[in-house]
């Protein structure tokens, strides 16, 4: 149970507390104050209040599998340890049959979602990706396909010389059910020029998301933090997402992603602290008043911090994942996958009620190896 009043150490938080109690929208300056406060218990108390208003005691998780069809990427972003040049002998590109076969490895565990993202491959065509998606749908008709970041969509559109809308329509017709939130990084142009200069700019990312939502594809959204961005850049990013969401209501979940420097061109940067990770979760919950879910991605935060985050604004912990490459190439020391029972234990130990969900947050009820979605 929430105490009626937190003990506020940082007096600058008092007007924000009043707004949160009243359910009022927080301003850009409020966002800055939250980031600049070390009174983590008050910031977390407010975020938890909002989280419990929206989701009560429930923490969601899903049983999913990540598939990365290729790590070949033309972009060579400084932030990334995953993408490789086509000529790199260690680079890989799966055949269609390999993608379909790899997807099946976790299927016996009744996976409800495939999360499919990869590098910007200079030769794989939109038709190839549509075939990949159609083949997955045919083989695993009950699995939700959350596939292609806005960056991949925009790249495919450019290479195919068609509009973003048409690209999204073709991917949707092939079987894409929704889009993941990757590639957003931070929208600030000066930072993007340094960490991911070959990617679409922030406005293009937001515009691609807007079009996806318009044609009926929901998506997630992310922010990469803990590299060279400022507090202003973080608030600006959250406010821009909030503005698009006011127009489309198409974002389902926000996932703050802590930068992992190992094996990247920015390896000299320190890793984020647990304090910053938890505060980021809380500020996200408070600023993004119109995005329903905040995910503490355990792969990125470690299961221990993702568990604590469930009391500081997060209401989701992601899923079983099974095989993760993007963070592990960048030095993540977490395991590559968690079993369903590990997730249940983590959530229960945080005093939350676990709810297995599908991608649309409908409860999934399991009967032995089979599963049904309760609508
Ligand atoms: O787009 C890349 C980021 C993203 C690094 O939608 C890095 O449910 C930290 O978007 N250190 C991919 N981050 C992951 C992602 C995601 C993860 C979980 C759930 C969902 C969802 C989306 O990871 C990339 C980029 O922003 N990234 N390299 C790195 N070295």
Span 201-235, pLDDT tens digits: 999 999 999 999 999 999 999 999 999 999 999 99
Name the range with the highest mean pLDDT among 41-50, 104-113, 299-308, 358-367. Answer: 41-50
Q: How far is the CA of 10 from the centre of ligand 1 (A)?
A: 33
Mean pLDDT of the chain: 93
DSSP state of 78: T
Smallest CA separation from ligand 1 atom 4, residue: 182
pLDDT score of 367 more than 70? no
pLDDT score of 324 more than 80? no
- Per the listing, tokens 């930072």 go with 191
Strands (E), the chain: 58-62, 64-67, 113-116, 144-147, 178-179, 218-225, 251-258, 293-294, 316-319, 353-356, 364-367, 370-373
pLDDT score of 263 more than 80? yes
220 lines ligand 1 (CB under 6 A): yes
Smallest CA separation from ligand 1 atom 15, residue: 182
pLDDT at res. 320? 80
Q: How far is the CA of 272 from the centre of ligand 1 (A)?
A: 15
Smallest CA separation from ligand 1 atom 9, residue: 259
Q: How far is the CA of 285 from the centre of ligand 1 (A)?
A: 19
pLDDT at res. 236? 98
Range in 153-157, 237-241, 313-317, 334-338 the model is least confident about:
334-338
Between 337 and 52, the higher pLDDT residue: 52
pLDDT score of 268 more than 50? yes
Distance CA 111, CA 62 (A): 8
Mean predicted confidence (pLDDT) in 177-192: 97
Hey, which of 224, 314, 337 would you mutate to test ligand 1's pocket, going by the most ligand atoms within 8 Å of its Cβ? 224
Q: Structure pTM?
A: 0.95
**Could you write out the three-class secondary structure of 251-276?**
EEEEEEEECCCCCCCCCCCCCCCHHH
Mean predicted confidence (pLDDT) in 153-164: 98
151 lines ligand 1 (CB under 6 A): no
Q: How far is the CA of 257 from the centre of ligand 1 (A)?
A: 6
Distance CA 237, CA 240 (A): 5
pLDDT at res. 374? 42
Smallest CA separation from ligand 1 atom 8, residue: 180
pLDDT score of 157 more than 50? yes
Hey, which of 179, 222, 332 would you mutate to test ligand 1's pocket, going by the most ligand atoms within 8 Å of its Cβ? 222
**Region 26-356: CATH code:** 3.20.20.70
pLDDT score of 2 more than 80? no
Smallest CA separation from ligand 1 atom 29, residue: 260
Q: How far is the CA of 182 from the centre of ligand 1 (A)?
A: 5
330 lines ligand 1 (CB under 6 A): yes
- Per the listing, tokens 């000299």 go with 268
> Could you tell me the pLDDT band of residue 144, with boundaries at 50, 70 and 90?
very high
> Could you tell me the pLDDT band of residue 5, with boundaries at 50, 70 and 90?
confident
Range in 277-281, 294-298, 322-326, 328-332 the model is least confident about:
322-326
Mean predicted confidence (pLDDT) in 264-281: 97
257 lines ligand 1 (CB under 6 A): yes
Mean predicted confidence (pLDDT) in 294-315: 95
pLDDT at res. 325? 74
Distance CA 13, CA 137 (A): 49
Q: CA nearest 215: which of 187, 181, 176, 246?
A: 176
DSSP state of 38: -
The per-residue pLDDT for range 25-64, each reduced to its tens digit, is: 999 999 999 999 999 999 999 999 999 999 999 999 998 8
Range in 12-21, 54-63, 102-111, 123-132 the model is least confident about:
102-111
pLDDT at res. 336? 61
Mean predicted confidence (pLDDT) in 139-168: 97
Residue 167 in contact with residue 208, Cβ under 8 Å?
Answer: no
116 lines ligand 1 (CB under 6 A): no
Which residues contact residue 315 at a Cβ distance below 8 angstroms, ignoring those fewer than 6 apart? 51, 54, 55, 58, 59, 60, 293, 294
pLDDT score of 332 more than 90? no
pLDDT at res. 104? 87
Q: Which atom of ligand 1 is nearest to the CA of 297?
A: 18
Beta-strand pair 178-179/370-373: unpaired
Task: Based on DSSP, count helices (H) and strands (E) in the chain, helices before strands.
Answer: 15, 12
pLDDT at res. 371? 46
326 lines ligand 1 (CB under 6 A): yes
Tokens standing for 274?
């647990």
pLDDT at res. 109? 59
Tokens standing for 84?
């490789």
pLDDT score of 341 more than 50? yes
Q: Which atom of ligand 1 is nearest to the CA of 179?
A: 6
pLDDT at res. 321? 73
């Amino acid at each position: 149970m929430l105490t009626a009043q937190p003990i506020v150490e940082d007096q600058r938080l008092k007007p924000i507390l009043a707004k949160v109690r009243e359910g009022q929208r927080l301003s850009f300056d409020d966002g800055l104050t939250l980031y600049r406060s070390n009174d983590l218990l008050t910031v977390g108390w407010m975020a938890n209040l909002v989280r419990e208003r929206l989701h009560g005691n429930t923490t969601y998780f899903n049983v999913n599998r990540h598939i990365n069809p290729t790590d070949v990427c033309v972009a060579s972003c400084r932030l990334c340890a995953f993408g490789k040049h086509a000529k790199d002998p260690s680079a890989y590109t799966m055949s269609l049959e390999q993608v379909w076969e790899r997807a099946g490895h976790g299927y016996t565990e009744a996976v409800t979602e495939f999360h499919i993202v990869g590098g910007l491959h200079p030769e794989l065509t939109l038709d190839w990706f549509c075939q990949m998606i159609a083949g997955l749908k045919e083989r695993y008709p009950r699995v939700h396909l959350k596939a292609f970041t806005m960056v991949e969509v925009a790249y495919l559109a450019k290479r195919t010389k068609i509009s973003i809308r048409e690209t999204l329509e073709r991917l949707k017709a092939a079987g894409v059910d929704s889009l993941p939130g990757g590639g957003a990084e931070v929208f600030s142009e000066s930072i993007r020029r340094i960490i991911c200069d070959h990617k679409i700019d922030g406005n293009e990312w937001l515009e691609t998301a807007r079009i996806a939502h318009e044609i009926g594809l929901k998506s997630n959204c992310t922010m990469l933090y803990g590299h060279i961005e400022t507090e202003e850049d973080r608030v600006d990013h959250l406010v821009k997402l909030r503005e698009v969401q006011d127009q489309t209501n198409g974002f389902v979940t926000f996932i703050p992603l802590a930068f992992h420097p190992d094996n990247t061109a920015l390896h000299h940067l320190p890793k984020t602290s647990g304090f910053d990770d938890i505060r980021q979760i809380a500020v996200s919950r408070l600023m993004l008043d119109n995005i329903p879910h905040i995910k503490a991605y355990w792969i990125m935060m470690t299961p221990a911090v993702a568990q604590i985050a469930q009391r500081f604004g997060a209401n989701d912990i992601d899923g079983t994942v099974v095989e993760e490459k993007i963070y592990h190439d960048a030095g993540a020391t977490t395991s590559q996958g968690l079993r369903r029972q590990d997730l249940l234990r983590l959530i229960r130990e945080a005093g939350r009620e676990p709810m297995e969900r599908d991608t649309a947050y409908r409860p999934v009820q399991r009967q032995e190896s089979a599963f049904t979605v309760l609508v």
